[in-house]
Structure 1
């Protein structure tokens, strides 16, 4: 019965995430068509800074909210929520000021490009709203409002950005995508906060929920999220530092296409995380294992057609973005292979986080990040985009493979102690 409920919720999540992926794909196509590889490189480099800084500013609270509040489904400590929001606002405001202040030296380090300085300065405007959107979306998700949470996290941002750039991109400067995304982040924040306040009227408040928000667990979640963010986006930053903006744009588009394969995994994570948190809290580990294995098999089957398509015909897919992107076909093959490996391991990272094994996630991610970055530095100068893709692929896939091996063959996270 529970599995059917999860399947039903996953279908909803898949539809919403599918729409987000579709708008995100269209947004990438529009950027590539209007601003070419150089413009795409500048945009996605600044966007990578936004995502990494957003993860840092969340300070691990999104995972903390899903684990602690979802496992106490009917209760929520209002004072603790207020403390979380206050801390996140403080950190994100400081990050925004620092990003804006150091936009010039950052741009000089990469391209000595005045346009990049403007891109990064505009990106600073989105840090606060984008971070808070994830916080309130996690609160909505912990309350069972999955549709609202997923819509406000990415769908609204990509849809509004896509519409804005589509209608005005041909008549404006290269900065429009960043301005459009920043504006959309404020709209997403307003919607997520509105629904949070709306649902709060029907919430029972508990005086205490145990641990405070400065617990060791929260610091582990923070480290996990930061390492995962760097593992996902550091390759683009390294490519930007080694190659020119055109090569960066081609790599960024290949990376975005490969990430479409993992949107199924992200959708499942959104549904499964609260359920796993409750099962691990109640020590119903057999049920948690069953959920993990069933969804991993389902993800592999659903992702297989897209994987085959990208392996066999990458040139035709990249041609959608423009002829100058076709040179990245081999890079796309390598990146899509790494993403498929991640799909085959399923939501293993979420299993370990919800099972109080954040240290395993941190160790595996840190080692794979180190290996990936070293390979990118060693191979990019010699093999250009292919070398960068090999390094990035190693970083992406080794983390999940290591976590899966340790979870099943070393610590056996599903075994009762």
Structure 2
């Protein structure tokens, strides 16, 4: 066994993947811990009803920011990875994406602010959510910036900046403000979230640009748009699979049920933080290998990363399945009602992990349109089934539909990886 490990690690790419994945995992662990702590602060400080308002509005702005990004997240990652040695290309790619995305984000933020009373009364039937919607509307702009900037950092292998930019810095700032100032309302917490994202997006944008000079050729804007269009559908549908359920729950159930589901969902997503950490390392590698025409390099890196994922995630999955009431109870005794919801969502995330980085495999190797088809199926599946299952079975029905389509999305992506690239990530034990 030891000799096999030594043989695998004798490959420089595997060593690089392992070392950088370990670093990314450590930073991502910090990020997951901060996100968990932030959700804990919101739930315990605000209570079930007010935290339900906050989580509902935050899920909505996550969806709207995904639409505003116009698909440039994965386009930045792919093209920046391929042009990593050209500072001018890196600068131009990020500026091109922001120049096109920010006007949409600003329009969405203004529209959400103006329409907040109508949404609260006619869509969510929650009068108390109006101010929360208004105060969190600027967060759409901040989220759009941090996601695009984080992708640029990731493509440049600057993980120490990418992960805090994406999901640590604004949680720290907002969580600290909510705690120190003893915030008890969702609207005030939403205001601090918008302010936190404003600070972090400005800082990380400056940080991303300060070391880039104007040497090298600029990328072809037509190529960027050609990649972004299918990626836009992919991101919207992928975000719908993850975040549409809390918004839909807000239309049919009381705020407390939204809070139970949202907390369970955020705990379940801790299962996937290992996948996210590995993706930070392997996604730029897939793009670089594809640019060189090295299909064998893609296969070896993909299978090696799945082994890392399975070994790392299994203990977390088992703990969540065995002790759901303990985990939910950390947020307050009333949240224990969501234990079954947590178990269901964890199973969906477990499939997400064991299939590996199949989404990035397709997108970084030029098969965005296959991934677009996959996410269209899963995204529309969630948007159609969650309202039906919520009406019949409540939050448990929403969790079941969400977990099923998360699993289906990844299994379909496995099929297309096998079809296009010639190997099956589920057979991670095969020789590499």
TM-score relative to the length of structure 2:
0.90
Contact kept in structure 2, 1:251 and 1:385, CA below 8 Å: yes
1:186 to 198, 216, 221: 198
Q: Are 1:240 and 2:257 counterparts?
A: no
Q: Are 1:269 and 2:279 counterparts?
A: yes
Which residue number corresponds to residue 236 of structure 2? 226
1:281 to 291, 303, 317: 291
State the 1:330 CA deviation. 1.1
Q: Distance in 1 between matches of 2:93 and 2:284?
A: 19
Contact kept in structure 1, 2:84 and 2:155, CA below 8 Å: yes
Contact kept in structure 2, 1:80 and 1:213, CA below 8 Å: no
Q: Are 1:168 and 2:181 counterparts?
A: yes
Contact kept in structure 1, 2:317 and 2:350, CA below 8 Å: yes
Q: Distance in 1 between matches of 2:125 and 2:249?
A: 15
2:356 to 346, 363, 373: 346
Deviates more, 1:204-213 or 1:279-288: 204-213
State the 1:225 CA deviation. 0.8
State the 1:115 CA deviation. 2.4
1:314 to 315, 324, 332: 324
Change in Cα spacing, 1:94 to 1:227, as seen in structure 2 (3 Å) is: same
Which residue number corresponds to residue 33 of structure 1? 44
Contact kept in structure 1, 2:233 and 2:376, CA below 8 Å: no
Q: Distance in 2 between matches of 1:217 and 1:190?
A: 26
Contact kept in structure 1, 2:38 and 2:171, CA below 8 Å: yes
State the 1:212 CA deviation. 2.7
Contact kept in structure 2, 1:152 and 1:192, CA below 8 Å: yes
Contact kept in structure 2, 1:133 and 1:153, CA below 8 Å: yes
Contact kept in structure 1, 2:28 and 2:163, CA below 8 Å: yes
Matches within 5 A, 1:289-308: 289-308=299-318
2:97 to 45, 63, 84: 84
SS in 2 for 1:205: coil
Write out per-residue CA displacement over residues 140-185 of structure 1, whole angstroms, 9 at most, x where no aligned residue.
Answer: 333332211222221101111221212223x543323212221111
Which residue number corresponds to residue 177 of structure 1? 189
Q: Distance in 1 between matches of 2:308 and 2:171?
A: 27
Change in Cα spacing, 1:13 to 1:176, as seen in structure 2 (3 Å) is: farther
Which residue number corresponds to residue 398 of structure 1? 408
Which residue number corresponds to residue 169 of structure 2? 156
Change in Cα spacing, 1:239 to 1:178, as seen in structure 2 (3 Å) is: same
1:74 to 85, 88, 97: 85
Q: Distance in 1 between matches of 2:422 and 2:135?
A: 44
Which residue number corresponds to residue 328 of structure 1? 338
Q: Distance in 2 between matches of 1:413 and 1:155?
A: 37
Change in Cα spacing, 1:413 to 1:55, as seen in structure 2 (3 Å) is: farther
Change in Cα spacing, 1:382 to 1:140, as seen in structure 2 (3 Å) is: closer
Q: Distance in 1 between matches of 2:173 and 2:363?
A: 33
Structure 1 unmatched runs, 5+: none
State the 1:10 CA deviation. 1.6
Q: Distance in 2 between matches of 1:367 and 1:198?
A: 41
**Pairwise CA RMSD of aligned residues?**
1.9
Matches within 5 A, 1:41-80: 41-75=52-86, 76-77=88-89, 78-80=91-93
Which residue number corresponds to residue 260 of structure 1? 270
Q: Distance in 2 between matches of 1:185 and 1:413?
A: 42
Matches within 5 A, 1:82-121: 82-121=95-134
